[in-house]
Structure 1
Amino acid sequence: MTGPHVFVLKGYPRLSETFIAEEILGLERRGLDIRIVALRRPTDDSVHPVHGEIRAPVAYLPEYLHDAPLRVLGAWWRVRRRPGYGTALRRFLADLRRDPTRNRLRRFGQALVLVDDLPAGAAHLHAHFIHTPASVTAYAALVTGLPWTCSAHAKDIWTSPDWELAGKLAAARWTVTCTRAGRDRLAALAPADRPVRLGYHGLALDRFRPLPLLRPRRDGADPDDPVRLLAVGRAVEKKGFDVLLDALARLPPDRHWRLTHVGGGPERAALEARAERHGIAGRIAWLGPRDQAAVLAEYRAADLFALPCRVAGDGDRDGLPNVLVEAQSQGLACVSTAVGGVPELIGDGVNGRLVPPDDPEALAGALLALIGDPDRRRALGRAGQARVARDFDSAASLDTLAGYFGEVPARDAAPAAAE
């Protein structure tokens, strides 16, 4: 296929979406001409090194239509003459009846601006996330007749209604997702001629070398040399960090530990207050968001990694958290839960520990056992490192993904309806 591939992202660049940046860079290195369009501008104070290596130019749609009314109105005036505009408008109005929200109006307006701003010769649209970016992309595809595809991940799969997923899966040429659990949910809603493929993100392992030397044999007995625990992730419900704090509060006082948390998120203040109530705030360092180099340094300084994922009240859950793959790449023993795609990486007692979600007693027991047993931590860490090296090197997955993009035709003869 000739012409650029236009990648539609919710925001770019974002510290929490390193996997998307690594994928874009890997596809560029395999010959894809990519242009990035984001629905919102960056909010993070820093970026990862990978963002500086990506050549793709970046354009931004108006995050809110009232912020750029003349831009939106001008786009509508020009786009309304396109042959596919009527089809897209009818699809949008049908969607609006089922989802009468300002968000739905915003996505259609953003789609008009996307069409108006498409680079010359654009051959294909690709949405990262099957919720709002895919809505914008699907409407734009109907207007232009361009084929579109989608990468689905976690929250977008589990919090979108079936009717909307089914419509997008029927319209996209193919969809790829990063866990078997996510693939199974989407495949059950997709027609037979619109494949849903499994593709683990993996790691660009060269960025995570050289591998660390053997870790100290801390066992929590020495108050001057406590076991170093690490948790990385946004402070949101599905990460279960409140459960982690409840578990840590249950540990006996004669086992000495310190926890470092890396990440921002809306629940950060509530978590800090919870730690105060438990009387463990003095043992916790809240670092906030950090770039990849800083996070890598924390993996290498830690003795034990904890991420007690759960299903949130709105159905949101993790796919396969990249931080678990990263931690295991560094030989760091991990404790997590059997939620989402986590069991696709970690076998309980094989290369990590899995406990039930929302169970601080079970989590405390697993943490306590590993805090006091550096040999067991080392064995689990080595097994995790071997698993990542064998099955989660991104080079192979990127070769496969690049092949999928090569399958996309230059233009759909009759674009399918899109939700």
Structure 2
Amino acid sequence: MSSEIDSSTLLSRASQLIDLARKAGADAADAVVVRSRSQSVSVRLGKVEGTESSESDDFSLRVFIGKRVASVSANPGFDLQALAERAVAMAKVSPEDPFACLADEANLAKSYPDLQLFDATEVSSEMLREAALAAETAALAVKGVTNSSGAGASGGMGGLVLATSHGFAGSYMGSRFGHSVSVIAGEGTGMERDYDFDSRLYYAELDDPAEIGRRAGQRVVKRINPRQVPTGKNVTVIFDPRVARGFVGHIAGAINGAAVARKTSFLRDRMGQQVLKSGLSITDDPLIVRGPASRPFDGEGVSGERLVMIEDGVLKHWFLSTSTGRELGLQTNGRGVRGGTAVSPSSTNLALEPGDISPEELIRSVGNGFYVTELIGHGVNMLTGEYSRGATGFWIENGELAFPVSEVTIASNLKDMFMRLTPANDIDRKFGVAAPTFAIEGMTLAGQ
């Protein structure tokens, strides 16, 4: 992959856009270029099914006239002056937004660290093809695997170039490589599907494709001949790390300042109060070297720092961008991200910090319960906290995984679930949202 050698060119174009917007009548402006390069290969049953390659540099200009704001986007090759004049004309007739603004100059990053987010390793289509085939071959070699849903390998880069009318100019790039495979076990109506994958910033740190394939095969074979279990209340449910990460995402959504400002979060009135069991903490750190979601500055040019969002169970922070912070009477904490032409708050490297016991010890401590490996549906109400999801996994009997289970529903309220959560010690921080295996007591399980 090409490196950051032409970021200076993109910064120059962004700065020109801002100058033209100011000349056209804007009081303030910022310009962003989101850069993306990717290539991927997909295979199925030993044959290449698809090869894709894409490149894009997407420009966005945001202008402010008093309390009015407008944004426009364009692809490379556009007329700079025409784009600037169009944005200013739109802003003049836009409704006032009392909170929209650039980040305060005092909050802008004056310098920022090299987080080592970019790996310049060149991956050819042939390398990607061989990796995908190796993953699929290893998965199909596992006894009991009967078919393949396909395997893939990819490599790419992405980054941000940002310039503002009050003096910020910066850029960063990050790389991403991945291997994945999905396979089937069983026949007819008894077929089961499962998968495995790995994704890293540095190519050399990826798991071996054959190992990914073996894990996928072993996972799916264990799911053959699932049973149903009786409906029950006060069931202890253990979340596999895969589904645990999604659950932590619900916590992130509930402490997002935008949701709090819109009054769509069930935690909107809980700042400074206990929302997790005592002893539990959730951290967010944008400055981890080689972190999967690290960034030296946010989408407004503000550097973030490590925050303990929930400390010893007590809610300490919202995720905030500048405008969301103003709406809540607070300062940004450097969590603004660009989504098209808009800026909204989001997490970076988010982690539910681990506990002290192993997953095996946690399972043994349960006695009888349900170990979830996959969740189905979107039955989560972030306004009330009501939680109801279809689930598959394994029944726990006498402290051990006894047999596969499917076609059940688990339900509770997130407020109660947060207070009954017990984490294990097996966190894997290679994901932007990281979580260990954890148990939640007192859930309702709807089965037979």
The verdict on a shared fold, with TM-score over 0.5 as the criterion, is no
TM range (shorter): under 0.3
Instruction: Return the structure number with greater strand share.
Output: 2
